Amino acid sequence: MSDIQDRIVIITGASSGIGEATAKELASKGAKVILAARREDRLQKLQQEIESSGGQAVYKVTDVASHEQMEELAAYALKEFGKIDVMVNNAGVMPLSPVHEKKIHEWDAMIDINIKGVLYGIAAVLPSMRERKEGHIINVSSIAGHLVFPASAVYSGTKFAVRAITEGLRIEECGNNIRTTIISPGSIATELTQAISGSELKAAIIEETKIAIEPASIARAIGFAIEQPADVAVNEMIVRPTIQQ
């Protein structure tokens, strides 16, 4: 029996890409997964897929940018399963653009989803984890949370913030037996680039992501962090294509 067996895991952004792959990976190892995102049709399809492979999954339509909806998500998980072992704050958007273009709505979306969404996810699960003196919060940052690229000023800002928030949480909560993990993916083949609104930039970024690796590579990294013994915390991982500079 792996240490993932019977773990209760919430995954945000489970309707595609890394979140979907993580849900499949963890469910295949016996975790009970709570799938969260906005697109219900995708969540329903994934739930059915996991269950027809013998896994266990439920879903709840959730906008991570809503504090209330994130609290409702955690309450739903607690009602269904009685505890939350792992929270994977994975949902994110990447509408890259140079700052001078002043795409304020896109900045707001990145700040609301990539930063506030992670904070709301932490806030929603922390009380029950502190009470049990056990838990694991995994936040998905990015290689753009370590390096800044042209047109990534705001996106990188949000991903640097995810790393700072996670490290702050680690310092505050390690004494409560709560583990934290920062996952920083490199180029991964998902729908993430679709939100880039500038057509030239979008084409250039899609060209750059030809080297991308499968989202299952990140799912396995997340599984690795979870399955460590309780006294071992994998605090940070960068996972990128071997050929990515």
Contact 237, 225 (CB under 8 A): yes
Q: Which is nearer to ligand NDP, 134 or 236 (CB)?
A: 236
The conformation of residue 139, written as its DSSP 8-state character, comes to: E
The reply to whether 63 sits near ligand NDP by the rule CB under 6 A is yes
Per CB under 6 A, the list member of 8, 10, 15, 225 interacting with ligand NDP is 15
The reply to whether 142 sits near ligand NDP by the rule CB under 6 A is yes
CA distance 222 to 217: 9
Per CB under 6 A, the list member of 2, 6, 39, 99 interacting with ligand NDP is 39
The amino acid at residue 219 is: A
Structure tokens at 107: 């900045």
Would you put residue 54 in left (φ > 0), alpha (ψ -120 to 50) or beta?
left
Contact 7, 79 (CB under 8 A): no
Interaction pattern, residues 152-191, with ligand NDP; x per rule: CB under 6 A:
---------------------------------x-xx-xx
Structure tokens at 216: 């299952």
Name the minimum Å distance from CB 143 to ligand NDP: 6
Name the minimum Å distance from CB 229 to ligand NDP: 27
Range in contact with ligand NDP (rule: CB under 6 A) among 25-33, 63-71, 128-136, 199-207: 63-71
Residues 194-233 that bind ligand NDP (CB under 6 A): 215
The conformation of residue 132, written as its DSSP 8-state character, comes to: H
Residue showing tokens 């979140």: 19
- Active site members: 155
Would you put residue 184 in left (φ > 0), alpha (ψ -120 to 50) or beta?
beta
Per CB under 6 A, the list member of 28, 29, 30, 38 interacting with ligand NDP is 38
What is the size of the binding site for ligand NDP (CB under 6 A)? 32
CA distance 4 to 25: 10
- What residues line the site for ligand NDP (CB under 6 A)? 12-19, 37-39, 42, 62-65, 90-94, 113, 140, 142-143, 185, 187-188, 190-192, 215
